[in-house]
Amino acid sequence: MKILKLIVKNSLRHKLRTILTIFGIAIAVFAFGLLRTVVTAWNAGVEASAANRLVTRQAVSFIFPLPLAYRDQIEKIPGVDVVTYANWFGGVYIDKNQFFARLAVDPETIFKVYPEFLISDDQYQTFLKERNSCIIGQATADAYKLKIGDIMNVEGDIYPGEWQFVVRGIYKPRDKSTDATQMLFHWDYLNERMKEWATGRDNEVGWYVVKIHDPSKTAQISDQIDALFKNSRAETKTESERAFQQGFVAASSAILTSINVISFVIIGIIMLVLGNTMIMSARERTREYAVFKTIGFSGKHMIGLILGESLFISALGGVLGLIVSFPMVQGISQAIPKGIFPVFELEPITLIFAVSSAILIGVAASIFPIMKALKTNIVDGLRFIG
Amino acid sequence: MKIPFKYTIKNFTSRKLTTFITIFGVALVVFVFTAVLMMAYGIQKTLKATGQPDNVIITRKAANGEISSLVDGETQDVIRTLQHIAVDKNGKQIISKEPVVVINLEKLNGGMSNVTVRGVSDVVFELRPQVKIIEGKMFNFGLRELIVGTGVTGKFKGAAIGDEVKFAGDNWKIVGVFDSEGSGFDSELWGDSQQLLNAFNRGNTISSMTLKLDNANNFDDFKKQFDFDRRLQQFEPKIEQKYFEEQSEFMAAFIRIVGLVITIIFSAGAIIGAAITMFAAVANRTVEVGTLRALGFKRRSILTVFLIESLVIAITGGLIGIFLASFLQFINISTLNFQSFSELAFSFSLSPSIIFWSLVFTIIMGIIGGFFPSVRAANLKIVDALRAV
């Protein structure tokens, strides 16, 4: 108990220095948390993927279409529950900086395959009836202040021309990781325009999403699907939704790697700041430690004193950093467009990482001063004049 | 009277470890700061080098990149009738009609990525004189052959001379390697425009049309023709250099914003580190400061000497950081460019202005970190300072 009191008293001896150090640690813990959040936001698509969904796309690249006729063939494979399909529509809504996914989908099946998009039944029924209607995610509805009955004008690029959609539904995300930014409209609407405008580009599907009954058969069913279309003009590549999403993440791995490196550099910097403070404190107290030793305190007490002070400061800094992180991350997620990072949240694992790194740093920063305090013998210590 | 600079240097030697740690902390922050700027600049430089100042690229107005742009045959014919298009010595217009697609290739170090395949017309070398075949030969027009950029050939499986790439139901033979002086084309595969159109069943619908102007100054006149022709309303001409520079905007801005926000947040950490060191330096030298004052040195001299000490620490750290970061120039990295949706190889790249800004950043850190401790030192009362233990 006495030693605890001593630790607190010691920490408060240089109030300014301690406060600065705590701020330093808090800032670093916050920066660390922010970076990890960017990384998790990047991986959000992977986290959101379901184990029972496969994605079938053109083998050469995602940008080439597949024939609509593949649908019936895929459906016949045993173990396949539902097959749905979608086309990336792209286009420009308002201006080129407004980015969120705009997809032409099969209205009958899309919500069966994506149960995490929650839509009320009456909205869904109106959507089914109206050809040029669309359903948008809650986040997009909020961002552009869209409500049911509003008209969205989109200028097409991949599918040229002026397009108009009527908002007939707003879906809510079921989980935190669900993307609530998408805009979904009737695939038939797209296809009819294509028939008139560009024959040869009708009845084409961007990709298929296959819901299977038993997730353990992923590999087997994937192979079966790809075997169906082997040596055709449009060969397919089927993989689990997770692997498909990971492909996207891996493509920007250079940036992710640098963010990861930077987050470790940050830990290094916290260590330096705290280490510096601890070294200074221990150095100033060389004489005191000698006195402690003279009156019979053992090495264990010395370790306790220095380590305790280091942990005390780092814990305070860590907690302060976390307290700052919550409103800051919230603010940043408001500031960046939803379309870029549909999910931007502090994950529990990030918090655990941040706190444990602060504690680890507390320990690491005290090693050097402890070693020095233990090594210095009483006579030299008493003679020390700073 | 000024206190000699030697005094500052001597002080460092008396607290080696603390000084060293502070310098190291500053060096780390400056290293990251510089690296972020170098990365963003590297991307920009690569894409800027991709275009020629007297080339014009025509794409659909609404398209974000070449792969989502479509230019149909009729429009191409209209464009061919426009004025200010350069001709070669045989009187042929220097126009390349380019279908651009993206295919998946497997990276040598694992994983798949998107690579751009561009169809080009036979005048391409006049259009883009920076492109040279450095190995093998040029592909034959009329055959399913490809040449690969230097950024692709060493990074992807099956992208060396003699290999065959399979897409669009056919095997395409790689017959040569080209270099485009570090531009974005290095990350592409090139083939015959007509062959690619046939293979992809695209009729005559290309992605973009690139042409050479008879004179770079005529761009405004050339552009005006687009405003007056109703058939060209949906299309937009841009200087090629500007077009590719804009393709880097999103990535460069993303890296800059994320990177700089982070560096600025934790530069606060380094400033605090410097401040702690300086406060300790002042506290330890209270008696000394009192003595100096008693000898007749002015408050201002005391302030200056501590500020200089802090600046020397910061600048030393900054120089170390920039020095270490300069080695990054030897590293080539590649990433997915969100705008073109394909792989772009580039390298970290240092410029004088980056060095300048890094140093400014360093000096600001040194001044902020050293200011308050120096003020405290300057404000010490002589009597109290001399009495301090």
pLDDT tens profile A299-334: 888 888 889 999 999 999 999 998 988 888 888 877
Looking at the structure, tell me whether residues B75 and B218 fall in a common domain.
yes
User: Residue A173 pairs with which residues in a beta bridge?
Assistant: A117
Looking at the structure, tell me whether residues B67 and B136 fall in a common domain.
yes
- Distance (Å) of CA B273 to CA A256, B19, B27: 28, 10, 12
pLDDT of residue A344: 81
Phi, psi of B109 (to 5 degrees): -95, 30
Looking at the structure, tell me whether residues A92 and A215 fall in a common domain.
yes
Looking at the structure, tell me whether residues B161 and B273 fall in a common domain.
no
CA distance B137 to chain A (A): 25
Out of B25, B258, B334, name the one closest to residue A273 (CB).
B25
* pLDDT tens digits along B192-204: 999 999 988 788 8
Looking at the structure, tell me whether residues B122 and B205 fall in a common domain.
yes
Instruction: Report yes or no on B90 lying in a domain.
Output: yes
Looking at the structure, tell me whether residues A9 and A40 fall in a common domain.
yes
Out of A27, A38, A92, name the one closest to residue B268 (CB).
A27
A&B contacts, CB < 8 Å:
152
Looking at the structure, tell me whether residues A260 and A353 fall in a common domain.
yes
Q: How many CB atoms lie within 10 A of CB B297?
A: 17
| Non-local CB neighbours of B195 within 8 Å, separated by 6+ positions | B119, B141, B142, B143, B144
Q: How far apart are the C-alpha atoms of A343 and A246, rounded to whole Å?
A: 16
Q: How far apart are the C-alpha atoms of A242 and A253, rounded to whole Å?
A: 16
Looking at the structure, tell me whether residues B71 and B176 fall in a common domain.
yes
Range name among B37-51, B185-199, B205-219, B358-372 with the lowest pLDDT average: B37-51
Write the ipTM.
0.71
Looking at the structure, tell me whether residues A126 and A275 fall in a common domain.
no
Q: How far apart are the C-alpha atoms of B263 and B361, rounded to whole Å?
A: 10
Percent of chain B with pLDDT over 70: 99
pLDDT of residue A375: 85
Looking at the structure, tell me whether residues B203 and B273 fall in a common domain.
no
Instruction: Report yes or no on B172 lying in a domain.
Output: yes
Question: Does B238 contact A at CB distance below 8 Å?
Answer: no
| Non-local CB neighbours of B146 within 8 Å, separated by 6+ positions | B117, B139, B165, B172, B173, B174, B175, B189, B190, B191
DSSP alpha helix (H) spans, chain B: 5-14, 16-50, 73-80, 124-127, 150-153, 193-199, 219-228, 240-284, 286-295, 299-326, 352-378, 382-387
Instruction: Report yes or no on B239 lying in a domain.
Output: no
Instruction: Report yes or no on B195 lying in a domain.
Output: yes
| Number of domains within chain B | 2
pLDDT of residue A330: 85
Looking at the structure, tell me whether residues B91 and B44 fall in a common domain.
no
Looking at the structure, tell me whether residues B101 and B218 fall in a common domain.
yes
Looking at the structure, tell me whether residues A30 and A70 fall in a common domain.
no
Looking at the structure, tell me whether residues A189 and A269 fall in a common domain.
no
In A, which residues are within 8 Å of B262 by CB distance?
31, 34-35, 262
Instruction: Report yes or no on B99 lying in a domain.
Output: yes
Out of A60, A253, A276, name the one closest to residue B273 (CB).
A276
* pLDDT tens digits along B20-72: 888 988 898 899 889 888 988 988 888 888 888 899 999 988 787 888 888 98
Instruction: Report yes or no on A154 lying in a domain.
Output: yes
Looking at the structure, tell me whether residues A368 and A264 fall in a common domain.
yes
In A, which residues are within 8 Å of B63 by CB distance?
157
Looking at the structure, tell me whether residues B97 and B138 fall in a common domain.
yes
In A, which residues are within 8 Å of B35 by CB distance?
258
What's the burial of B321, exposed, middle or buried (CB within 10 Å: 0-12/13-18/19+)?
Answer: buried
Instruction: Report yes or no on B310 lying in a domain.
Output: yes
User: Residue B336 pairs with which residues in a beta bridge?
Assistant: B343
Instruction: Report yes or no on A244 lying in a domain.
Output: no
How many residues are listed for chain B in this entry? 389
Instruction: Report yes or no on A246 lying in a domain.
Output: no
| Residue A350 belongs to domain spanning | 2-44+252-383
Which DSSP string do the residues of B216-261 spell out, in sequence order? GGGHHHHHHHHHH-GGGTTEEEEEHHHHHHHHHHHHHHHHHHHHHH
Give, to the nearest 10 degrees, the angle between helix B299-326 and helix B240-284: 140
Out of B63, B111, B269, name the one closest to residue A157 (CB).
B63
Instruction: Report yes or no on B292 lying in a domain.
Output: yes
Asked if the model's pLDDT at residue B278 lies above 80, the reply is yes
Looking at the structure, tell me whether residues B209 and B274 fall in a common domain.
no
Looking at the structure, tell me whether residues B218 and B114 fall in a common domain.
yes
Looking at the structure, tell me whether residues A80 and A217 fall in a common domain.
yes
The DSSP bridge pattern shows strands B145-149 and B170-179 to be parallel
* pLDDT tens digits along B263-277: 787 778 778 888 888
pLDDT along chain A (386 residues), means of 10: 82 87 86 84 82 90 87 94 93 84 94 94 94 93 92 90 93 88 94 83 91 92 93 87 82 77 78 82 84 86 89 91 88 73 80 84 88 84 74
Give, to the nearest 10 degrees, the angle between helix A348-375 and helix A253-284: 30
Among residues B233, B268, B296, which one ends one of the domains?
B233
| Number of domains within chain A | 2
Contact by Cβ (8 Å): A119, A358: no
Looking at the structure, tell me whether residues A112 and A225 fall in a common domain.
yes
Looking at the structure, tell me whether residues B216 and B182 fall in a common domain.
yes
Q: How far apart are the C-alpha atoms of A65 and A61, rounded to whole Å?
A: 9
C-alpha closest to that of A375 among A384, A363, A385: A384
Instruction: Report yes or no on B57 lying in a domain.
Output: no
Which DSSP string do the residues of A211-248 spell out, in sequence order? EES-GGGHHHHHHHHHHHTTTSSS-EEEEEHHHHHHHH
pLDDT of residue A1: 62
Looking at the structure, tell me whether residues A203 and A66 fall in a common domain.
yes
| Residue B345 belongs to domain spanning | 5-48+247-387
Looking at the structure, tell me whether residues A26 and A122 fall in a common domain.
no
Looking at the structure, tell me whether residues A101 and A181 fall in a common domain.
yes
